[in-house]
Amino acid sequence: MTLVKELSTLAEFDRVLESSRNIPQLIFKHSTSCPVSAAAFQEFLEFIKEHVNEDGLAFSLVKVIESRPVSNEIAARLTVRHESPQVILVQDGRAVWNESHHRIKKAELKQVAAELG
Residue 53 pLDDT: 58
Question: Distance between CA 3 and CA 35 in Å, rounded?
Answer: 22
- Express each pLDDT in 2-55 by its tens digit: 589 999 999 999 999 999 999 999 999 999 999 999 999 999 999 998 876 555
Collapse the DSSP code of 83 into the 3-class scheme (helix H, G, I; strand E, B; otherwise coil) and give the result.
Answer: coil
| Whole-Å CA distances, 77 to 34, 68, 99 | 25, 14, 17
Please determine, for residue 86, whether its predicted confidence score (pLDDT) is greater than 80.
yes
- Structure confidence at residue 70 (pLDDT): 98
Supply the pLDDT for residue 116. Answer: 85
Between 116 and 95, name the one with better pLDDT. 95
Alpha helix (H) ranges present in the chain? 10-19, 35-51, 68-78, 106-116
Which tens digit of pLDDT belongs to each residue from 55-71? 589 999 999 999 999 99
pTM as predicted: 0.94
Secondary structure (3-state) at 96: strand
Reduced to 3 states (helix: H, G, I; strand: E, B; else coil), residue 30 is: strand
Q: Which fold has domain 4-110?
A: Glutaredoxin (3.40.30)
- CA dist 86 and 20 (Å) reads 18
pLDDT of residue 73: 97
Taking the C-alpha atoms of residue 30 and residue 27, their distance in angstroms, rounded to an integer, is 10
